Structure 1
Amino acid sequence: MHQCPPALSHGSLVEVFPDVFFVSGAMETVLQGLDWQFSRNMTVVRDGERLIIINSVRLDEQGLAELDQLGRVTDVVRLGALHGRDDPFYVQRYGAEYWALPGVDHESGLAVTRRLTSDEPLPISDASLFVFSTAQIPEAVLRLERSDGILIACDALQNWHAPDAYFSDDSRALMQQMGFFTPANLGPVWLQAASPSGEDFTRLKSLSFRHALCGHGEPLRHSAHTDFSATFSRMFGV
């Protein structure tokens, strides 16, 4: 058994689209020699009676009771190299399959049981996978074929409008300076680490979608394609 970090403060699971649930909570970490505390999001997709966890956030006992009322957790999906803190908790608690991109292995030694690739079956019946092919660290986006197209992203796509209750004062000030609080944004730390080219965003722009649920920030409903396309054009000229 892996030693799992404790649950941090978080909100309630909210059904943002039919059978798609969303919750925000705190993250505490050390990056570039600095202590950070900010918010992050988990998405839970219900497929029949199965629940698929994406961008895991460990819930407290009340939150887990709410989760268990929705269905049975069968799969945990890690879309990005920079997330994964709470993956072992859910994999161990539910005996779930653990999905990650080639090149991503959990820091704790947790075994990846299924690899995410564009040409293999996914744990969600109406999902497809977009992989950033030019990024220097593994990162992907899931697209759900429902509600006119929903993207589920990790760090690459973000939608922070303003700092929320899960930020420390120091992180709020630093991340304001770094440009994190920009709607339909590309993650500043991810951009620095991944160094992607515009080719990826040309491909992403070609997908059909209206909504985006990102690893950080608020749900972006209805205008996600228009808003992110403007960002891709501004940052990469595509």
Structure 2
Amino acid sequence: MNQSNPNAFPPALAHGTIEEVFTDVFCISGAMETVLMDMDWRFSRNMTVVRDGDRLILINTVRLNDEGLAQLERLGTVTDVIRLGALHGRDDAFYLDRYQASYWVMPGIKTEPEHGARPLEPTSTLPIGDASLFAFETSKIPEGILHLQRDGGILIACDALQNWLTPDEHFCDSSRERMETMGFFTPANVGPVWHQVAEPKAEDFHRLKALEFKHALCGHGEPVRNNAREAFGATFDRLFQQAD
């Protein structure tokens, strides 16, 4: 583990504690601060941690404070970081540096050469034994979803799938107001900004709906338990019915 230069990376923002949502699958919610359209935004985002033996694989990284890192390290050893979406990645470099982890990235996402990124493709041998990758083929920006073959099927998504039900403690008032009008707080949703930027076609969602899964853990919002395939399937039908 390398702890030589933590100040070289974006700082840790407010976050909660790590919670085990399924056996050996953990989630933590934290804040994101950014500037978009010349406006300041603050909202929540999620990191998922999958434990495979004593190895930890981080998806949609959120930098943790010292207390959070200690909790993480009690779970196992961080060996891999997975980047599923083009619009995330703020905290990947911190974990790559601290743990000298392997980096798995969707093709088309630019990374620093020193990170030695490995291609994250449906044909890749992934660092999670029971996982496969679903890759969007029609979107204008790279995006993937991990499909875990456990507990009836678990999807781990980035921005394409979201499940923000209400604003949480990580939202500022202006972001909450803007995002309410933009339709972000919709159960089992396709991410509104991602949808606008990526312009995916209906056929990707037909393929996604055909997968067997009961649950979904998204980059934003609450876990969807037990009825994820039905809930997201209804959203896909609503959003893409004109394209069928």
TMscore range, shorter length: over 0.9
* Number of the residue aligned with 2:79: 74
Deviation at 1:235, TM superposition (A): 0.3
Q: Give the alignment's TM-score, normalised by structure 2.
A: 0.95
2:22 aligned with 1:20? no
2:187 aligned with 1:183? yes
* Number of the residue aligned with 1:47: 52
RMSD over aligned CA atoms reads: 1.2
* Number of the residue aligned with 1:210: 214
Q: Give the alignment's TM-score, normalised by structure 1.
A: 0.97
2:168 aligned with 1:167? no
Task: Report if the CA contact (8 A) 2:154-2:216 is conserved.
Answer: yes
Q: Which amino acid aligns with 1:12?
A: T
Q: Which amino acid aligns with 1:49?
A: D
2:183 aligned with 1:193? no
Q: Which amino acid aligns with 2:126?
A: L
Structure 2: give runs of 5+ residues left out of the alignment: none
Runs of 4+ more than 6 Å apart: none
Task: Report if the CA contact (8 A) 2:96-2:115 is conserved.
Answer: no
The whole-number CA distance in structure 1 between the counterparts of 2:200 and 2:24 is 32
Deviation at 1:109, TM superposition (A): 5.8
Q: Which amino acid aligns with 1:25?
A: G
- Shift in CA distance, 200/112, structure 1 to aligned 2, threshold 3 Å: farther
* Number of the residue aligned with 1:92: 97
Task: Report if the CA contact (8 A) 2:28-2:46 is conserved.
Answer: yes
2:231 aligned with 1:227? yes
Deviation at 1:110, TM superposition (A): 5.2
The DSSP-based 3-state class of the residue aligned with 1:22 is strand
The DSSP-based 3-state class of the residue aligned with 1:45 is strand
The whole-number CA distance in structure 2 between the counterparts of 1:231 and 1:83 is 23
The DSSP-based 3-state class of the residue aligned with 2:73 is helix
Q: Give CA deviations for 1:109-142 in whole Å, capped at 9, x if unaligned.
A: 6524211010120110100000000000000000
* Number of the residue aligned with 1:11: 16
Q: Which amino acid aligns with 1:5?
A: P
The whole-number CA distance in structure 2 between the counterparts of 1:112 and 1:129 is 20
2:138 aligned with 1:134? yes
Q: Give CA deviations for 1:149-170 in whole Å, capped at 9, x if unaligned.
A: 0000000000000000000000
The whole-number CA distance in structure 2 between the counterparts of 1:136 and 1:113 is 21
* Number of the residue aligned with 2:106: 101
Task: Report if the CA contact (8 A) 1:105-1:111 is conserved.
Answer: no
The whole-number CA distance in structure 1 between the counterparts of 2:165 and 2:201 is 25
The whole-number CA distance in structure 1 between the counterparts of 2:19 and 2:30 is 13
Q: Give CA deviations for 1:194-230 in whole Å, capped at 9, x if unaligned.
A: 0000000000000000000000000110010000000
Structure 1: give runs of 5+ residues left out of the alignment: none
